[in-house]
A and B are shown apart, each in its own frame.
Chain A
Amino acid sequence: MNGKTGVEIHLDNVSKRYSGQKTAAVDEVTMTIPAGETVVFVGPSGCGKTTTMKMINRLIEPSGGRITIGGEDALKLDPDQLRRRIGYAIQQAGLFPHMTVGQNVGVVPGLVGWDKNKIADRVEEMLDLVGLEPSEFRDRYPRQLSGGQQQRVGVARALAADPPVLLMDEPFGAVDPITRGNLQDQLLRLQSELGKTIVFVTHDFDEAVKLGDRIAVLGDRSKILQYDTPDAILANPADDTVAGFVGAGASLKQLTLLRVRDVEHGDVPTATVDDSPEQLRERVGKGSGLLLDARRRPLRWVSARDLGPGKSLRTAGRPVEDSVSEASTLQDALEAILTDDDGQAVVVGTRGEYVGVVDIDTVMTTIRQLREEARA
């Protein structure tokens, strides 16, 4: 399962008009959804984002325009055949209550004509993939599952026939925030393995930032207000509507997109417990430095004051309360900076060894740079 299995989707002047209504529900949308990427449609309710998505699998027939999926004209295919090649997951999972979990997951492979053994194997594989023990869940009915488990089965069902494209219509809208977070993490993990082309509809901008490789912010009649990476939208919203949708705290949200490894680390004087206080005092000067243990893991912050004559390095200074790793988000780093008395977050490597520090100036410089890049 390596490499990208997704295909490109292209919408070309796609519109939807309902008879008897003056304005179009979706008005001439043109966009390209790159193969293997997750594109999130986000916008206020009633803006036509779900309608736009449903035109891709023709649950709603476009009244104008062209849609190609992997280069094929979707409007020329038989709709049922088309949909069997597009995974579809919806809010509250839409599981068939009179079928077992296994039967639900096996529906699409059955429709495309797989034999029974292959379907049974696939059901097992899919339940495994979404983190449900097959022997325990296969023969249960949807009613016997929690909301989060149902949603996992919904995703398993959507992926069962290995479609290159996955459409998800607010799939995590009806579960509690903690479960939603877990489901989102799992989708990210799945996607990094599977590389499908995912179109994801939500009204939750934070969810869009977390899941999307790209976000399409849609306005009335599905007009694309901005279509860009989460980074770029956060740093530089195209207009006031987008800015309003991004909401307060755009800079903070942006910090969740950056990792500590992406920014430059500062350095502070260090000494290990085996060194003498004099050596460290020399390095520290009038500032402060870090005391490391024998394996170079940070122990305590020490300042010149702590290193007076007769003081031992074994007790001097104050302990390092919190450290961040290279993989932590800049938001985590900021949190550590704010709680630290000296305004510095210690960065440690995979084995806990000292790597460097990040301070408030670094964070601010990074944000400023991002904004300038986005404007350029």
Chain B
Amino acid sequence: MTAPTAERGSRRAERIRLYAQPLIVLGIVGVVLAWAFSSDLDDIEKRSINASTILSLTWQHVEITAVVTALVLVVAVPLGVVLTRRWAKPLAPLVLGIANIGQAAPAVGLLVLFFLATGWTGFWVVVLPTALYALLPVLRNTMVGLQQVDPSLVEAGRGIGMSGFSVLRRIEFPLAVPFVLAGLRTALVLAVGVATLAMLVDGGGLGVMIDTGYKLRRTSVLVVGAVLAVALALLVDWLGALAEQLLGPRGLR
């Protein structure tokens, strides 16, 4: 009796969160921005705390996150599909191992090493290592999602005349979607976090404000940068939750 009740309770909590989370986030951002803009700013602070700088840094941050996510999706999902096919099973541990190393290594280290190795700076030096870092959750969840599909459903699909590909497209993948989305949600939040380090390699983003505020001892700049980064992570997480609600297969709940 307790299990269904708990499940129903957690589902209700999930729904409340779906409405409350963006409102709370926007509220906090509003309060912090109002506080920052209304306080007495010196020249240094004004250089950071103005609409165009905040917007462009936020936009850079969003861009990094979006491209990382797209990259992760394009690489990890097909890779996860391939690695669960019977003929590619031996490769799975190898690829998972590489992805594990990618995630186990600290993001800063990965970023800086990539910068040192290539000598590049800017957008792609942030995006590529971050993508490697965020690959694992999506890859692993895609694989788990496909592996948890009841083999008798796959056999039923083949048995009534679906080709291997159409079983994948119409049965296995739709049933794995909740897992893929959960992995993607984790990857998104990771990406927002790592993107605050983009300033290390001249990649922009809200990390610039945090860095400036810290180095020049301007608390207001530091707070605005940090709050916006946190808010962005929470919003992105909310988008992920929304996607799980809307894109998950019907009939499973």
A44: Cβ under 8 A from any B Cβ:
no
Indicate if the CB atoms of B161 and A98 lie closer than 8 Å. no
Q: Contact partner of A111 among B155, B159, B162, B250, CB < 8 A?
A: B162
Which residue on chain B has the smallest CB distance to residue A167?
B159
Indicate if the CB atoms of A97 and B251 lie closer than 8 Å. yes
B249: Cβ under 8 A from any A Cβ:
yes
Indicate if the CB atoms of A88 and B251 lie closer than 8 Å. no
Indicate if the CB atoms of B156 and A97 lie closer than 8 Å. no
Number of B residues whose C-beta is below 8 Å from A?
Answer: 20
Q: A32-49 CB contact bits vs B (8 Å, 1 = yes)?
A: 000000000000000000
User: Could you tell me the distance between the alpha carbons of A190 and B163 in the complex, rounded to whole angstroms?
Assistant: 29
A57: Cβ under 8 A from any B Cβ:
yes
B131: Cβ under 8 A from any A Cβ:
no
Q: A209-230 CB contact bits vs B (8 Å, 1 = yes)?
A: 0000000000000000000000
Indicate if the CB atoms of B157 and A157 lie closer than 8 Å. no
Indicate if the CB atoms of A98 and B174 lie closer than 8 Å. yes
Chain B nearest CB from A313 CB (Å) reads 65
Chain A nearest CB from B86 CB (Å) reads 14
Q: Which residues of A contact B161 (CB under 8 A)?
A: 80-86, 108, 111-112
Indicate if the CB atoms of B174 and A59 lie closer than 8 Å. no
Given A81-B161, A98-B175, A111-B162, A88-B252 contact (CB < 8 Å): no
Indicate if the CB atoms of B160 and A143 lie closer than 8 Å. no
Find residues 139-163 in chain B having any chain A CB closer than 8 Å to their own CB. 152-153, 155-163
B171: Cβ under 8 A from any A Cβ:
yes
Indicate if the CB atoms of A88 and B156 lie closer than 8 Å. yes
Indicate if the CB atoms of B160 and A158 lie closer than 8 Å. yes
Q: Which residues of B contact A235 (CB under 8 A)?
A: none
User: Could you tell me the distance between the alpha carbons of A90 and B174 in the complex, rounded to whole angstroms?
Assistant: 22
Query: A82, A86, A97, A111: which has the most chain B beta carbons within 10 Å?
Result: A97
Q: Contact partner of B159 among A59, A81, A92, A142, CB < 8 A?
A: A59
Chain A nearest CB from B8 CB (Å) reads 15
A18: Cβ under 8 A from any B Cβ:
no
Find residues 93-107 in chain A having any chain B CB closer than 8 Å to their own CB. 94-100, 107
Q: B149-187 CB contact bits vs A (8 Å, 1 = yes)?
A: 000110111111111001000110011000000000000
Chain A nearest CB from B132 CB (Å) reads 32
Q: Contact partner of A100 among B162, B163, B171, B251, CB < 8 A?
A: B251
Q: Which residues of B contact A94 (CB under 8 A)?
A: 152-153, 155-156, 159
Q: Contact partner of A90 among B152, B162, B249, B252, CB < 8 A?
A: B152
A205: Cβ under 8 A from any B Cβ:
no
Q: Which residues of B contact A112 (CB under 8 A)?
A: 161
Which residue on chain B has the smallest CB distance to residue A85?
B161
Number of A residues whose C-beta is below 8 Å from B?
Answer: 31
User: Could you tell me the distance between the alpha carbons of A142 and B253 in the complex, rounded to whole angstroms?
Assistant: 11
Which residue on chain B has the smallest CB distance to residue A59?
B159
Indicate if the CB atoms of B250 and A88 lie closer than 8 Å. no
Q: Contact partner of A97 among B158, B159, B166, B175, CB < 8 A?
A: B175
Q: Which residues of B contact A57 (CB under 8 A)?
A: 159
Indicate if the CB atoms of B159 and A143 lie closer than 8 Å. no
Chain B nearest CB from A141 CB (Å) reads 3
Indicate if the CB atoms of B160 and A83 lie closer than 8 Å. yes
Given A83-B161, A108-B160, A99-B155 contact (CB < 8 Å): no
User: Could you tell me the distance between the alpha carbons of A141 and B153 in the complex, rounded to whole angstroms?
Assistant: 15
Q: Which residues of A contact B155 (CB under 8 A)?
A: 59, 90, 94
Q: Which residues of B contact A95 (CB under 8 A)?
A: 156
Indicate if the CB atoms of A80 and B153 lie closer than 8 Å. no
Find residues 326-367 in chain A having any chain B CB closer than 8 Å to their own CB. none
Which residue on chain B has the smallest CB distance to residue A158?
B160
User: Could you tell me the distance between the alpha carbons of A107 and B163 in the complex, rounded to whole angstroms?
Assistant: 12
Given A90-B156, A94-B153, A94-B155, A141-B162 contact (CB < 8 Å): no
Given A90-B152, A92-B152, A98-B175, A141-B158 contact (CB < 8 Å): no
Q: Contact partner of B251 among A90, A92, A99, A167, CB < 8 A?
A: A99
Indicate if the CB atoms of B159 and A98 lie closer than 8 Å. no
User: Could you tell me the distance between the alpha carbons of A157 and B166 in the complex, rounded to whole angstroms?
Assistant: 17
User: Could you tell me the distance between the alpha carbons of A85 and B155 in the complex, rounded to whole angstroms?
Assistant: 16
Q: A59-B159, A83-B160 are in contact. List 6 more A-B contacts (CB 8 A).
A: A81-B161, A94-B156, A98-B174, A98-B249, A111-B162, A141-B252
Which 6 residue pairs across A and B have the least CB separation, nearest first? Answer: A94-B156, A141-B251, A84-B161, A98-B249, A83-B161, A88-B159
Return 13 A-B CB contacts under 8 Å, by A number: A57-B159, A59-B155, A80-B161, A81-B161, A83-B158, A87-B160, A88-B160, A90-B155, A97-B251, A98-B175, A107-B162, A108-B160, A142-B251
